């Protein structure tokens, strides 16, 4: 069973739940989207298929787009604004109570459909509902739970973009207190040099970045 066969079956099952909660399906992107006050939350069934196998893996992926934060990121990355790039992305199998599923046939899907729908309803949707509030999302990123962003420099880049966007003194203080220099030193992300450049550019808007102890 390949992706083109499985995805429509999944959507038929999830449509009543997700449309009933205010989501619409973006067929070209294979995602469900909900917009709330400048925040867009996406839920993607995320079907992976390997031509060498006879099954697919389903692992729902959630992402959140905070337009004001993405505006700041685009400005300091000196690039054209891309509304497709999420502020935060997380796979459901990184969350407690969630998992991924292997599916080889329509019958196989039907046998697991109740569990898939239950996880999306009880784990994914409450998280996205919470994160549709940009302030609650910022708190989650400050705490970096549940494993929201894996690179410390990426986490700081997103958070200081929040500070630039919303000018919240309490958020600035919380972000500075959350800086983990050990994690910065340990990080081996290929994008870390890019994040350093963005943070360096942001110093013009948030001078306090120069006090956090990160070599820019």
From residue 188, give the alpha-carbon distance in Å to each of 48, 147, 183, 192.
27, 16, 10, 7
d(CA 79, CA 73): 9
pLDDT at 84: 66
State the chain's maximal CA–CA distance in angstroms: 58
Instruction: Please report the pLDDT score of residue 170 as a whole number.
Output: 92
Query: According to the model, what pLDDT value does residue 95 have?
Result: 75
Give me the tens of pLDDT residue by residue for the chain, a chain 216 residues long.
889 999 999 999 999 999 999 999 999 999 999 999 999 999 999 999 887 888 899 999 999 999 999 999 888 887 665 666 788 888 776 677 778 899 999 999 999 999 999 999 999 999 999 999 999 999 989 987 656 787 899 999 999 999 999 998 999 999 999 999 999 998 888 889 999 999 999 999 999 999 999 998
What does the domain layout of the chain look like in residue ranges?
3-131, 149-211
Nearest to 44 by CA among 28, 59, 34: 59
Note the helical H segments in the chain. 3-20, 67-77, 106-119, 125-131, 134-143, 152-166, 169-178, 181-186, 192-202
């Amino acid at each position: 069973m390949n992706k083109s066969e499985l995805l429509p079956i999944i959507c038929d099952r999830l449509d009543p739940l997700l449309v009933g909660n205010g989501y619409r399906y973006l067929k070209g992107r294979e995602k469900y989207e909900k917009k709330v006050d400048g925040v867009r939350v996406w839920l993607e069934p995320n079907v992976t298929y390997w031509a060498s196998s006879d099954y697919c893996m389903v692992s729902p992926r959630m992402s959140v787009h905070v337009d004001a934060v993405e505006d700041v990121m685009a400005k300091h990355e000196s690039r054209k604004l891309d509304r497709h790039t999420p502020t935060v992305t997380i796979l459901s199998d990184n969350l407690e109570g969630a998992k991924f599923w292997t599916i080889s046939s329509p019958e196989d899907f039907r046998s697991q459909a109740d569990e898939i729908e239950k996880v999306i309803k009880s784990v994914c949707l409450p998280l996205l509902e919470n994160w549709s509030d940009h302030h609650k999302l910022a708190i989650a990123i400050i705490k970096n739970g549940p494993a929201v962003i894996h690179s410390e420099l990426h986490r700081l880049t997103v958070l200081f973009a929040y500070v630039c966007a919303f000018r919240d003194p309490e958020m600035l203080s919380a972000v500075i207190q959350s800086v983990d220099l050990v994690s910065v030193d340990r990080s081996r992300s290929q994008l870390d040099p890019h994040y350093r450049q963005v943070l360096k550019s942001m110093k013009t808007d948030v001078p306090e970045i120069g006090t956090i102890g990160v070599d820019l």
